[in-house]
Amino acid sequence: MSTIFQKIINKEIPADILYEDDLCLAFRDVAPQAPTHFLMIPKKEVLNVAALEDGDKDLAGHMLLMIRDVAKKLGLENGYRVVANCGQEGGQSVDHLHFHVLGGRNMKWPPG
Cβ distance to ligand AMP smaller for residue 12 or 55: 12
Instruction: Give helix then strand counts, H and E, for the chain.
Output: 3, 5
Residue closest to 81 by CA, chosen among 21, 49, 47, 40 = 40
Q: Given the rule CB under 6 A, which of 49-57, 60-68, 73-81, 88-96 is the region that contacts ligand AMP?
A: 88-96
| Residue 98 bears catalytic tag | yes
Position among 29, 56, 59, 62 found at the interface with ligand AMP (CB under 6 A): 29
Helix (H) or strand (E) holding 25: strand 24-28
Q: How far is the CB of 23 from ligand AMP (least distance, A)?
A: 19
Distance CA 65, CA 49 (A): 16
Candidates 23, 30, 50, 51: give the one binding ligand AMP (CB under 6 A). 30
Report the residue from 47, 49, 94, 107 that binds ligand AMP according to the rule CB under 6 A: 94
Name the 3-class secondary structure at 39.
strand
Catalytic positions:
98
